[in-house]
Chain A
Amino acid sequence: EDKVVQSPLSLVVHEGDTVTLNCSYEVTNFRSLLWYKQEKKAPTFLFMLTSSGIEKKSGRLSSILDKKELFSILNITATQTGDSAVYLCAVKMASQGNLIFGKGTKLSVKP
Chain B
Amino acid sequence: DTAVSQTPKYLVTQMGNDKSIKCEQNLGHDTMYWYKQDSKKFLKIMFSYNNKELIINETVPNRFSPKSPDKAHLNLHINSLELGDSAVYFCASSQDVTSVLQETQYFGPGTRLLVL
B48 touches A88 (CB 8 A): no
The 0/1 profile, CB within 8 Å of B marked 1, for residues 84-111 of chain A is: 0010101010001111110110100000
Q: Complex Cα distance A44/B90, Å?
A: 12
A to B contact number (C-beta, < 8 Å)? 61
The reply to whether A97 and B31 form a contact with Cβ atoms under 8 Å apart is yes
Q: Are A97 and B103 in touch, CB under 8 angstroms?
A: yes
Q: Is the CB of A96 within 8 A of B48?
A: yes
How many chain-A residues does the 8 Å CB contact rule pick out?
25
Please give, as numbers and ranges, the residues of chain B lying within 8 Å of A41 by CB-CB distance. Answer: 109-110
Q: How far is the CB of A98 from chain B (nearest CB, A)?
A: 4
Q: Quick one: given A34-B105, A98-B56, are A43 and B100 in contact (CB under 8 Å)?
A: no
B104 on the interface (CB 8 Å rule)?
yes
**How far, in Å, is B79 (CB) from chain A's closest CB?**
23
How many angstroms from the CA of A47 to the CA of B65 in the assembled complex? 32
Asked if A61 is at the interface of the complex by the 8 Å CB criterion, the answer is: no
CB atoms of A103 and B97 under 8 A apart = no
**Out of B4, B41, B56, which one reaches A97, CB within 8 Å?**
B56
Contact, CB under 8 Å: B108 / A98: no
Nearest chain A residue, comparing its CB with the CB of B31: A97
Sample (15) of A-B pairs whose CB atoms are under 8 Å apart: A32-B100, A36-B107, A42-B4, A42-B110, A44-B107, A90-B43, A96-B48, A96-B56, A97-B103, A98-B33, A98-B56, A98-B58, A99-B43, A101-B42, A103-B42
